[in-house]
Amino acid sequence: GEYIVPMEDRIICGATHEYGELNTLLEMSPDLNKAQKLLYDRINRLDQKIMKDQTPYMSNQGIRVVPPRSHFGRLPVIANHPVDRKVWLLSGLSSRGLIHHGLLGSYVSRSIVDKETENIIIPKELLLEFDR
């Protein structure tokens, strides 16, 4: 979706999405011209005054986890870090993060507390096991 965030000395607008394999995406650098072309019309629709006489000067990028679609839809991913077993990963919430973060966080925290009893309550559909 589109967003506009006013800051003290600038305006942050976004966002674009590019899909692909992780290694390919990691090799890419932000392309300000491409982002500007993709965003200009969409941001202009939100507020025509914002883009008038403005020149974008910076672009950031990040990697978002997009889990595969199953018959349940796109489910978030919960995993115990393969190297540091004290670290748990919770990702792939997408636009449902504000709705589900509490429930999923309770699954993770409960599993950490009950780890010694092997009573992991994370639904198997969400649990990602790393190859070791």
pLDDT in tens, 87-123: 888 888 877 778 888 999 998 888 888 765 566 678 8
Average pLDDT over residues 65-93: 85
Task: Identify the pLDDT of residue 119.
Answer: 62
| Residue 76 to residue 97: CA distance in whole angstroms | 9
In SS3 terms, the chain reads as CCEEEECCCCEEEECCCCCCCHHHHHHCCCCHHHHHHHHHHHHHHHCHHHHCCCCCCCCCCCCCCCCCEECCEECCEEEECCCCCCCEEEECCHHHHHHHHHHHHHHHHHHHHCHHHCCCCCCCCCECCCCC
Task: Identify the pLDDT of residue 34.
Answer: 83
| pLDDT band (50, 70, 90) for residue 124 | confident
Asked whether residue 52 carries a pLDDT value surpassing 80, the answer given is no
Task: Identify the pLDDT of residue 131.
Answer: 67
Task: Identify the pLDDT of residue 118.
Answer: 61
Q: Answer yes or no: are the C-beta atoms of 60 and 74 closer than 8 Å.
A: no
**What pTM was estimated for this model as a whole?**
0.56
Q: Give percent of the chain above pLDDT 70.
A: 89
